[in-house]
Amino acid sequence: MPAPLEGIKVIDMTQVQSGPSCTQMLAWLGADVIKIERPGKGDQTRGELLDMESDSLYFLQLNANKRSIELNTKTAEGKEVLTKLLKDADVFIENLHPGAVDHMGFSWENVQKINPRLIYASLKGFNADSPYVDVKAYEDVAQCAGGAAATTGWWKGEYNVPTISAAALGDSNTGMHILIGILAALLHRDKTGVGQKVTQSMQDAVINLCRVKLRDQIRLDNTGTLNEYPQYPNETFGDTVPRSGNASGGAHLGWTFRCKGWETDPNAYVYMILQDTKKGWEDTCNALGKPEWLTDPKYSTHKGRAPHAFEIFKEIEEEYTLKNDKFVVSKTLGEAGIPCGPVLSMKDIQNDESLRKSGTIVEVEAADPKRGKFLTVGCTQKFSNFTPVIKTPPKLGEHTEEILKSLGYTDAQIKELHDKKVTSV
């Protein structure tokens, strides 16, 4: 069975995480992804956060299954090579700083003339209508501008500060957003015969994930309170959605509960949701050995429970979770119908057998024997008719010659490009 995107050619001028996460996914799905890299340097992440003298894990985990060409697209010859590549490509994607690709002569208007069927994908920090349109952006800038930092973290005490999530909401999340746009534009091209420009800003991708916080802002405007937040009922609300620690953020109460060993293990916790439905609450009370909570009005309704949430959490901890290991708590309560899961450390995830079995965590052989096998996150979508194979990420310029030959360059011309520093430093 062919891979879903077999036959799709992607010219990839992306770097760092946002763009590469998208093009890696396109490559896993079978597209031929040609990564254009600055001669001698390549993607800036190749040399970042090094744990050994070899391509960094940062680069390796985001660039599997691609081909790499070293090409200085600021030179006349480099522009010519890129133009030839674009002629029969399906997708061009870039995430250079605002204006950089336009200055090189590869604006949407120009590229459209080279290939009207091309999907032109552009990823920036901010969208075209933003006052920050020309601003460079990284992960944290986007999390702050997208509402995530303002609504994440502790709501009182010295740690009541806007807080950045460790999850790549600004980077990989934006990559996945633009991926949706690219796939939609490819399907649209099948119907219309023409390509189009797809833009995605990092700020917008974060805002899209903060939709429920906008919901809460409107609720707060309308009612002056948010009764599933930890501030309720004893603290005051201002006029903007506050941070809410580990509160579930939904209609059901939820929190992180300490488990056995928490004194020495910072991740000995489970997250548990106290489901609000009749059956959910019954299952919870029975599993925790608290049948009396089914009739006591302080516990039996959400309205009764909400003002006492922390007293209830404390009882659950003292009488149940603190006496048990997080995996035992999760399994036992999970089997009893309670939405519950262990707080997994990265070490737990690294060693989790089921994640290896599902192909979510995979080992890949790096091109450099010094690195050997490295661990990465594989394809998280599971298909019934296709299994992505995660292949070795390219060395810088590994495919330069092969790609130039496929465009009709002779050995002598390839040498000339090399000597002129178009494909070398």
Ligand X SMILES: CC(C)(COP(=O)(O)OP(=O)(O)OC[C@H]1O[C@@H](n2cnc3c(N)ncnc32)[C@H](O)[C@@H]1OP(=O)(O)O)[C@@H](O)C(=O)NCCC(=O)NCCS
Query: Which residues form the interface with ligand X (CB under 6 A)?
Result: 15-19, 36, 38, 71-74, 95-97, 100, 103-104, 123-125, 136-138, 171, 202
How many whole angstroms separate alpha carbon 425 and alpha carbon 396? Answer: 12
Question: C-beta of 22: minimal distance to ligand X in Å?
Answer: 10
Minimum CB distance to ligand X smaller for 125 or for 147: 125
State the catalytic residue, choosing from 171, 221, 283, 325.
Answer: 171
Question: C-beta of 69: minimal distance to ligand X in Å?
Answer: 9
Residue 171: active-site member? yes
How many whole angstroms separate alpha carbon 27 and alpha carbon 21? Answer: 10
The residue with tokens 């690294």 is: 350
Sequence-ordered alpha helix ranges (H) in 99-210? 100-103, 108-114, 139-145, 148-151, 172-192, 202-209
Instruction: Provide the pairing of β-strand 361-365 with 373-377.
Output: antiparallel
For every residue of 236-292, DSSP letters joined together read ---SSPPP-TT--SSSSEEEEEE-TTTTT-TT-EEEEEE--SHHHHHHHHHHTT-GG
Question: C-beta of 378: minimal distance to ligand X in Å?
Answer: 20
Question: C-beta of 100: minimal distance to ligand X in Å?
Answer: 4
The answer to whether residues 380 and 29 touch, using CB atoms and an 8 Å cutoff, is no
How many whole angstroms separate alpha carbon 109 and alpha carbon 83? Answer: 13
Minimum CB distance to ligand X smaller for 17 or for 61: 17
Question: C-beta of 47: minimal distance to ligand X in Å?
Answer: 13
Minimum CB distance to ligand X smaller for 16 or for 91: 16
Torsion angle defined by CA atoms of residues 119, 123, 126 and 129, in that order, rounded to the nearest 10 degrees: -10
CB atoms < 10 A from the CB of 91, how many?
A: 26
Minimum CB distance to ligand X smaller for 71 or for 145: 71
Minimum CB distance to ligand X smaller for 15 or for 65: 15
For every residue of 44-73, DSSP letters joined together read GGGGSS-SSSSS-HHHHTT-TT-EEEE--T
The answer to whether residues 368 and 55 touch, using CB atoms and an 8 Å cutoff, is yes
Minimum CB distance to ligand X smaller for 124 or for 252: 124
Minimum CB distance to ligand X smaller for 73 or for 115: 73
The answer to whether residues 125 and 108 touch, using CB atoms and an 8 Å cutoff, is no
The answer to whether residues 326 and 342 touch, using CB atoms and an 8 Å cutoff, is yes
Question: C-beta of 401: minimal distance to ligand X in Å?
Answer: 17
* Sign of the dihedral defined by the CA atoms of residues 397, 372, 363, 165, in that order: negative
Residues 6+ apart with CB under 8 A from 336: 283, 286, 287
Question: C-beta of 8: minimal distance to ligand X in Å?
Answer: 22
Instruction: Return the active site residues.
Output: 171
